[in-house]
Structure 1
Amino acid sequence: MNTDSSQKPRFVHEVSRLNGSNIPELLAMAAGDKKFFWFGLNYVQVVRLDAAPHFAARPLSLSGNWHRMRLESTATAFNGQRWWYVCPECGKRSAAMYWSPDKLACRKCMGLRYQSQYETFSSEFERLCHRVRKERIAIWGPNEPDVEFLMRKPSSFKRPKGMRKKTFRRKLERLQALDALWSGVALRHLNSWTDGE
């Protein structure tokens, strides 16, 4: 695990990865098959070692070191199964494998962080604005006109096509409670500006 605190944090969106969408391709490979998986301009070469889901992966690098990697499944509801990567470093299941020129590992072993873990807000007001916008976009999407205009009440937007009425009501009620909280904080925030005059 990356413990160097002087190094700036690296985020998951900055690093190449194999994710869940690559698993069907990996499982379809026969023993001995080789395949390249691209992520932007970087790639990893994967070789299936045997009939069990065991693989060797070699990221694009000058060293050309191979790393062992395997897949594991867990049972889901209705007799289904979900496949996971097993991290070669810690042995834990992971939804994605990240690679650098000399390493293939899970997010934690690579020392990667999510951008949202480092978001800083100077006030409760900014934090609430961000939460309300995020909830609105989760319901109506980023392309809905005025979705980020917080003065427009959530009840003025139509139910998104394809969303169940019950789901929409539940999400809308949660958003309206958050919006009411935001309104109170916004009023205090505006009053703090006028009190200073």
Structure 2
Amino acid sequence: MGGSGSGRRHQGGRDTTEDSRPLDIRKLQRAGLLIPGRSFWWQWTVNSRPVADIRVQAEIQRVVLVYRYRCGNDDIWHAVEQPVLMDHTPCTYGGTRCWWVCPSCSRRVAILYGHGKLYACRHCYRLAYASQREAADDRARRQADNIRRRLGWPAGIANPDGDKPKGMHWRTFERLTATHDACVRVSLAGLANWLESLKRRRVGVADDPRGRC
């Protein structure tokens, strides 16, 4: 069963980053995989089950992405080898940070997305973040749940509030609870508006002679 707002369409019509396969260079760097001459597989999972994978061949200042894709409803798999350049910037406390150079626009980015035939940045594919497509009350509910999680309270704004976590400063607790309560008010107001709009639509159908048997 869904929570408040279930069944409503999110705002905006663009695909989101969650609809694509993200390749985050920060994760590859932390895992020590970007060593020239190294070849490895990277896998995406949903609920711990693999749903896609890609082979990455690391070279000097670039990688080669080796994968297959299908176009639309085409049952034919097409093999692709896509080179992607890398850039490096110095970190404040030593070391360097790796970046992808987007093959489409040459923008320096941390994440490329497999959304079509080739990997590119979210700007080139015009991908929105899922949070950008949320209704205001859905976003407020999610923020309230995040605060509840931080405070160790039961999940869900319909549940009773808890106490101040041990070791948390009162000023921090009061700030978080004030934000939480404001988000709850926005979420409940949005839910009430949604229910009222459903009621009006149902009344309109009942009053329309064309809707009678």
TM-score with structure 2 length normalisation? 0.61
Q: Hey, what does 1:70 align to over in structure 2? A: 85
Partners of 2:18 and 2:106 in 1: CA distance: 23
Question: Pick from 121, 128, 145: which aligns with 1:113?
Answer: 128
2:140 touches 2:184 (CA, 8 Å); kept in 1?
Answer: no
Taking only aligned residues, the RMSD between alpha carbons, in angstroms, comes to: 3.4
Q: Hey, what does 1:177 align to over in structure 2? A: 178
Residue 116 of structure 1: CA displacement? 1.0
1:48 touches 1:54 (CA, 8 Å); kept in 2?
Answer: yes
2:141 touches 2:157 (CA, 8 Å); kept in 1?
Answer: no
State yes or no: 1:56 paired with 2:64.
yes
1:57 touches 1:69 (CA, 8 Å); kept in 2?
Answer: yes
Residue 187 of structure 1: CA displacement? 10
For 2:63, the aligned partner's letter is F
1:48 touches 1:55 (CA, 8 Å); kept in 2?
Answer: yes
**Secondary structure of 2:34's match?**
helix
TM-score with structure 1 length normalisation? 0.65
Q: Hey, what does 1:43 align to over in structure 2? A: 53
Equivalences for residues 33-182 of structure 1 within 5 A: 33-39=38-44, 40-49=50-59, 52-61=60-69, 62-100=77-115, 102-121=117-136, 128-137=140-149, 139-140=150-151, 144-149=152-157, 152-153=160-161, 156-159=163-166, 165=168, 169-170=171-172, 172-179=173-180, 181=182
Partners of 2:188 and 2:51 in 1: CA distance: 49
Q: Using a 3 Å threshold, how does the CA distance of structure 1 residues 38 and 185 change in structure 2: closer, same or farther?
A: closer
2:143 touches 2:183 (CA, 8 Å); kept in 1?
Answer: no
Partners of 1:48 and 1:64 in 2: CA distance: 18
Q: Percent identity?
A: 20
For 1:97, the aligned partner's letter is L
Partners of 1:187 and 1:109 in 2: CA distance: 37
Q: Structure 2 unaligned runs (5+)?
A: 1-12, 45-49, 70-76, 191-213
1:43 touches 1:60 (CA, 8 Å); kept in 2?
Answer: no
Aligned residues: 165
Q: Using a 3 Å threshold, how does the CA distance of structure 1 residues 97 and 127 change in structure 2: closer, same or farther?
A: closer
Equivalences for residues 17-36 of structure 1 within 5 A: 17-19=22-24, 20-23=26-29, 24-28=31-35, 30-31=36-37, 33-36=38-41
